[in-house]
Each structure stands twice: as structure tokens, then as C-alpha cells.
Amino acid sequence: MDSLASQLADTAPTWSQEIAPLVEWFAETISSSTSGDGRLRVPGTRLTQRRRYEGQGGSLSAPKEAASQNSICRNCGATISSGGQYCHACSLAESGKRLPAVQELGRVAAVSPASLKKRSEAMNRHKEARRNWQPSDLPDWLTDEVYATRIQPALLAKKKIASALGISGDYEYEIARGDKIPHRRHWVRLAELVGTPPASSEP
């Protein structure tokens, strides 16, 4: 509470400059809407001294901008950066509360009819591709040794494996780490991705 009172005291001049024109405008509006019998005096502009400045050929100076104020944590009330909602500790606690709900939404989405249909279609495409692939489609130079020594180590620096092969992000990670070896029908595309040329084309 002391901090709030201090902030209000520091910004009081700015608030008075901001509000004063509105108060005077409201008073003039009320005055002009009353009966015109001449008995009601037009209110002065003591708050802003506008008429005095205008009589001297001047104008009111623009109000100073209020200093940027810190925000207050919604949980513990600690002072935090302007625009924030929680301090670091409370932010971690709130994230922990939301995580189970997010995980549950992910599990529900994973077993939704649309998700299951998409997964089934992807599996059918991969099965069909494996059936149509022939070992003769693999170049002679692209051996197990070439894949293990020149292609797989370079995959860690690549981020488009999943889109290039039409696989999931989890499988992409396992291939890049070397935990899984992809089907040989993918090797030519991976060689192109990492820039591994045929042995005959090397200097």
C-alpha cells in the first residue's frame, strides 16, 4: 500500500494536468446548457489558466508524459516489469498449473477422428512407397558405410528432414541422432539434403 501511495504522489502533477481540461470542459458544457437569463456566470479556467494564456496570445503547454510505472504480480503483489502479470516464481507456478490441462488437450487431440484419419493415411502412404521401392533404385555409391559416415553425422545440423521425407517430428529427431536408420528409399533424398555427392563426382 505504501508503494502505491508513493507512486500516486509522484504522478499527482501529471494526473492533475490530464484531468483539469476535462473538468473545465464539463463545467462549460453544463453552463452553456442552462437557461440564458444571464444570471449564470461562465465558469473560469482556474485549473489550467487557459483564458489567461490565451489573453496573452499564448497557449497551454502540452502535459508531461507520466513516468512508466511497474506492474504488480497478480498472485503475491510483488513489483514486476510494466505490462507483466506474474513475477518469475509465480509464473513458474502458474505454468505448472496449466501444463496438465495442456497435456490433456494434446491427448484428446491425438485420438480425435481427424487425427486418427490423418495418421492412417500417412501410414498407408509409407507402406505403399515401401512396396513400390526396389533395391536397384539405390545408387551403387550410396552404401551403408556412406550413410553411416557421411550422411547421418551431417543430419544433426539439418532442420527440414521431416518435411523432406514426409515423416513426424519425433522420427526426424531419432534419425538425426542416429537412434533410427530410415528406410533406404529415403537415403538419396537425405544425401541431397546434406550435400553428399556421389563418390565419382568428388575431386
Check residue 177 and give its pLDDT: 87
Ordered by start, the domain boundaries in the chain are 2-69, 135-201
Can you tell me the mean pLDDT for 90-99? 77
Q: Are 90 and 75 in contact (CB under 8 A)?
A: yes
Nearest to 143 by CA among 109, 187, 106: 187
Give me 174's grid cell.
Answer: 531419432
pLDDT greater at residue 66 or residue 99:
99
Banded pLDDT at 31 (limits 50, 70, 90): low
Whether 37 has a pLDDT exceeding 70, the answer reads no
Residue 200 has pLDDT above 60, yes or no: no
